[in-house]
């Protein structure tokens, strides 16, 4: 566990296979670490480039030549050179070695297969851990350590990710910056020959900085242990697992990608359900759930009120939004008769839909009316959560963006004051900068924002299911 | 039919209920028509605002006072005044009247119910047609006529929409501008008391400017006729129908919105399938299908090759993309052994996935290699279409946007030259302006672009089904 702390908070990093050539990952690791603002020591290492510099940093000929201690080694060299490098790592008393290098079990040839156990043996003998091989390694916003070649670090937060895939880790780190999904720690672990998903999840279960764990996994070498670790984690904090390769074609691909064994998708779903974790089925759903579990600590039931026409949209969104909610397993509950009377008095009956969903078009721009509508719906005893849908591009076609922002601050403050959990749906369109600005109004206050009614409904339904299974977390 | 031509190409428009008050739709119709660049005559009409001006245009006290002929009347006045207005319309010999005014059948009160047949009677007696009531009316890019308050007109194109909902029409017109879904004509028809979805679809079936018809419908008063019209249309050009209110809650909402009767969703699906139209289940799917049917004239079969890692992404996208394709009903077919040999020689075996999906990460930036890979996959006799996935935010984290654009032009040209149908998947992330710029590279050449693997797979599967049912349209 001590070594795992060092992995996410390394005092110093050596990049072995460093290169001044911008077409090599040995260049991009250096560039990315510098650009992300990492504050520890950074040492490029390469026998071939010794004496040169990479982005102003002197390149050392070997790990032994590095003047200070090294916590984390990032490796981008051919597989034929990894065993002797591990001997050097032992000599340098490093804490962990992250292998970007690929060509092991996932390749399926004799050399690849035989290298892996030798690497693990050397790491254990040397008292350090291996991340990977065949992966992008560590993301640590508190240490301002960017992942892979991304060069960007988001705000530190309470979500951790443990992803077998580097590409998905890259993307998740960036999506997090764009959507305010803020990470405590993240790791792309690839083949996971030493530290596996289970090890990281076990560590993160005990990590006080982590409140939510996300895991993209293609396969695991010890299914029993993985299940036990997930179960223990899910008892303490929300866990979202996205299993890649649940179809036959996907599993075939996973076997080439990370050497994962094939297990039927329905077996995985049953196991994940039994472990009490939420299952995602796509990248979009994975990110949506991490955001929702980050923003909310307690999870309301399935009875939703849908408010459309608050700004843009209206009747069609009410109708199709009902379909989306019901399909996802939410209940679009009838409103209390008192609520409907209040809404009728406020909105008028012409051009309004005075049931659930409520089309609020008639109150647009009339904030005192809207305030009363929100209060009335939020106070309805049958409503457990509220979905608000707006079409920002439609709005800014007719009104200035500043008015839309001001109005949305009002909507946000009214609904936050009501105490009823709510989320926003802001579909993309022809005014993306305006939409992202409005999105930020809500994200700044921790209100979940989704780009479609379908995605909001899916995520809320999965979160409601989580609340049902973990009564202490249900609102 | 002649009146319908005039509806979409009016030589002159009167807005009755025109207002200088920017909080009224009687203002926004004027503003929007001017802002869209409409080139015909435009006359504001209002007894209350007579003598004033709206955005520089003189307001007439009544329709009779308008100096020239009037083809289309747009109406935003209370329902109590509509019958006498229709008498004035007859006197003025207008071609069509669009009622934004609501409060009729959808309200369910006695007055609303009794007005509708009287309105229809007056229109028939006066020799003109009614659009609506309770709708946003006409979109006509060739006439530079914006819809509702949108004030924006996209490029004229070959897709037409017939939507019962105004909000969905607004949004579709804007999404069209952002994603290059280009319209010949569009209409939001609301309660459809005179001109109904069936009338518009019949007209568009014969319209040489329209190659694809989209229809969002909540209900129809004559199901038999609607079915017959859809069947005839689908025999001639692709038709996409999105039925809102397929769940009980959705149908309840639809009844308040447009007065639609409830019919179980599975009955609708069976009927639409029998009519040979493609069914959409959400706004996103509706827009995706209209884009795909616009861009393609022939529809390839279900055997796809998925290329990931061409620029950003890679192994995880290959695995999860396989899952998405298979779930949607596409076949991720094994590649021909010759193709795999060629790919292995080009990409190398380390860090590559040399089956379908192909993870091309190893060839990034090496255009001669990539060219050979594309040629080889496109020439594979088992592959009927290609999906290419890129992560633009990931790419521009490490490379300049101009390089990404240049590279994508190369990708586009290579794949277009191969002759194999292909689509792009460009998921949103943390660099939206860059992503939209890359999207435009493909949209400029009519290549369909989707924001997620799931959405691409769903749309391609529905299009493949369409090709199976219309052999003349299958590639």
Q: What is the pLDDT of residues B158-209, one digit of tens each?
A: 999 999 999 999 999 999 999 999 999 999 999 999 999 999 999 999 999 9
Interface of A with B in 370-409 (CB under 8 A): 391, 393-394, 397-398
Residues 6+ away with beta carbon under 8 Å from B320: A168, A242, A244, A245, A250, A282, A283, B453
Residue matched to tokens 């992250």: A98
Contact B325 A249 (CB under 8 A): yes
Chain B contact for A302, CB < 8 A? no
Confidence tier at A173 by pLDDT (50, 70, 90)? very high
In CATH, the architecture of A2-132 is 3-Layer(aba) Sandwich (3.40)
Residues A33, A36, A41, CA angle at the centre, nearest 5°? 45
Residue pair A375/A307 in contact (Cβ under 8 Å)? The answer is no
Lowest mean pLDDT among A213-217, B131-135, B266-270, B362-366: B362-366
Q: Per-domain residue ranges for chain A?
A: 2-132, 156-295, 303-473
Contact A151 B103 (CB under 8 A): no
Residue matched to tokens 């090709």: B467
Contact B454 A284 (CB under 8 A): yes
Q: Tell me the shortest Cα–Cα distance from B472 to chain A, in angstroms.
A: 30
Q: Which chain B residue is nearest to residue A359, measuring alpha carbons?
A: B257
Is residue B210 within a helix (H) or strand (E), and if so which, with residue range? Answer: none
Q: Tell me the shortest Cα–Cα distance from B237 to chain A, in angstroms.
A: 25
Lowest mean pLDDT among A314-323, B182-191, B422-431, B457-466: A314-323
pLDDT above 90 coverage of chain A, percent: 81
pLDDT value of residue B106 = 83
Interface of B with A in 431-450 (CB under 8 A): 431-432, 436
Sheet holding A129-131, edge to edge: A41-45, A12-16, A72-75, A96-99, A129-131
CATH class of residue range B303-473: alpha beta
pLDDT value of residue B185 = 98
Distance CA B181, CA A341 (A): 42
As for the ipTM of the complex, it is 0.94
Contact A282 B453 (CB under 8 A): yes
What would the mean pLDDT of A161-185 be, rounded to a whole number? 96
Contact A257 B318 (CB under 8 A): yes
Interface of B with A in 33-72 (CB under 8 A): none
pLDDT value of residue B352 = 67
Query: What kind of fold does domain B156-295 have according to CATH?
Result: Rossmann fold (3.40.50)
Chain A contact for B190, CB < 8 A? no
pLDDT value of residue A46 = 98
What would the mean pLDDT of B209-230 be, rounded to a whole number? 94
Chain B contact for A266, CB < 8 A? no
Contact A245 B319 (CB under 8 A): yes
Interface of A with B in 123-162 (CB under 8 A): 134, 149-152
Question: How do residues A38-95 score in pLDDT, each as one tens digit?
Answer: 999 999 999 999 999 999 999 999 999 999 999 999 999 999 999 999 999 999 999 9
At residue B114, does pLDDT exceed 70? Answer: yes
Q: Which of A170, A257, A397 sits opposite B151 (nearest CB)?
A: A397
Instruction: Read off the tokens for B208.
Output: 């040489």
What would the mean pLDDT of B399-406 be, rounded to a whole number? 93
Contact A351 B316 (CB under 8 A): no
pLDDT value of residue A366 = 78
Number of H helices, E strands in chain B: 17, 20
Interface of A with B in 70-109 (CB under 8 A): 79, 102-103, 107, 109
pLDDT above 90 coverage of chain B, percent: 81
Lowest mean pLDDT among A142-146, A255-259, B17-21, B160-164: A255-259
Confidence tier at B312 by pLDDT (50, 70, 90)? confident
Would A156-295 and A303-473 be classified into the same CATH topology? yes
Q: Tell me the shortest Cα–Cα distance from A450 to chain B, in angstroms.
A: 13
Contact B428 A436 (CB under 8 A): no
pLDDT value of residue B257 = 73
What would the mean pLDDT of A117-131 be, rounded to a whole number? 97
pLDDT value of residue A52 = 96
Contact B249 A326 (CB under 8 A): yes
Question: How do residues B410-421 score in pLDDT, each as one tens digit?
Answer: 999 999 999 999
Distance CA B96, CA B129 (A): 5
Helix (H, G, I), strand (E, B) or coil at A9: coil
Residue matched to tokens 């059948």: B105
Residue pair A156/A184 in contact (Cβ under 8 Å)? The answer is yes
Q: Facing residues of B43 across strands? A: B14
- Using alpha carbons only, how large is chain A's radius of gyration in Å? 25
Q: Which of B134, B324, B397 sits opposite A152 (nearest CB)?
A: B397
DSSP track, B85-138: HHHHHHHHT-SEEEE----STTT-SHHHHHHHHHHHHHHHHHT-EEE-SSS-EE
Interface of A with B in 331-370 (CB under 8 A): 332, 349-351, 353-357, 359, 365
Task: Name every chain B residue with its beta carbon within 8 A of the beta carbon of A249.
Answer: 322-323, 325-326, 332, 356
Confidence tier at B1 by pLDDT (50, 70, 90)? low
| Domain at B2-133: CATH code | 3.40.50.720
Is the model more confident about A423 or about B474?
A: A423
Q: Which chain A residue is nearest to residue B32, measuring alpha carbons?
A: A398
């Amino acid at each position: 566990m001590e070594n795992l702390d060092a992995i996410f908070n390394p005092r110093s990093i050596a990049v072995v296979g460093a290169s001044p050539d911008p077409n090599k990952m040995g260049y991009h690791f250096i560039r990315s670490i510098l650009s992300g603002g990492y504050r520890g020591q950074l040492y490029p290492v390469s026998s071939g480039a010794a004496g040169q510099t990479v982005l102003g940093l002197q390149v050392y000929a070997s790990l032994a030549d590095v003047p200070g201690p090294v916590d984390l080694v990032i490796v981008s060299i051919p597989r034929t050179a990894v065993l002797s490098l591990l001997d050097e790592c032992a000599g340098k008393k490093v804490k962990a070695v992250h292998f970007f290098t690929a060509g092991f079990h996932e390749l399926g040839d004799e050399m690849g297969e035989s290298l892996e156990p030798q690497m693990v043996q050397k790491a254990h003998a040397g008292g350090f851990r291996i991340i990977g091989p065949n992966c992008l390694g560590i993301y640590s916003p508190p240490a301002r350590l960017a992942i892979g070649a991304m060069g960007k670090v988001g705000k530190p937060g309470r979500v951790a990710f443990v992803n077998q895939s580097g590409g998905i880790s890259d993307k998740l780190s960036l999506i997090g910056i764009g959507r305010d999904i803020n990470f405590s720690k993240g790791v792309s672990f690839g083949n996971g020959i030493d530290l596996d998903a289970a090890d990281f999840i076990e560590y993160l279960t005990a990590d006080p900085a982590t409140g939510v764990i996300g895991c993209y996994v293609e396969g695991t070498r010890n299914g029993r242990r993985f299940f036990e670790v997930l179960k223990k984690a899910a008892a303490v904090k929300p866990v979202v697992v996205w299993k890649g390769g649940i179809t036959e074609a996907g599993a075939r691909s996973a076997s080439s990608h990370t050497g994962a064994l094939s297990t039927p998708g329905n077996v995985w779903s049953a196991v994940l359900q039994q472990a009490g974790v939420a299952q995602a089925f796509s990248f979009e759903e994975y990110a949506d759930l991490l955001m929702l579990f980050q923003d909310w600590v307690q999870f309301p039931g399935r009875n939703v009120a849908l408010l459309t026409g608050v700004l843009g949209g209206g009747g069609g969104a009410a109708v199709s939004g009902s379909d989306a909610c019901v399909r996802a397993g939410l209940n679009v509950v009838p409103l209390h008769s008192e609520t409907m009377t209040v809404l009728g008095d406020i909105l008028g009956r012409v051009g309004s839909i005075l049931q659930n969903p409520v089309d609020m078009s008639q109150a647009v721009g009339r904030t005192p009316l809207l305030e009363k509508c929100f209060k009335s719906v939020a106070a309805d005893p049958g409503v457990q959560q509220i979905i608000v849908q707006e079409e920002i591009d439609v709005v800014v076609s007719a009104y200035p963006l500043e008015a839309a922002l001001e109005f949305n601050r009002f909507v946000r403050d009214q609904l936050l004051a009501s105490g009823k959990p709510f989320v926003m749906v802001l579909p993309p369109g022809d005014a993306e900068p305006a939409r992202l600005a409005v999105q930020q109004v809500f994200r700044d206050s921790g209100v979940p924002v989704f780009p479609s009614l379908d995605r909001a409904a899916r995520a809320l339904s999965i979160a409601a299911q989580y609340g049902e299974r973990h009564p202490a977390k249900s609102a």
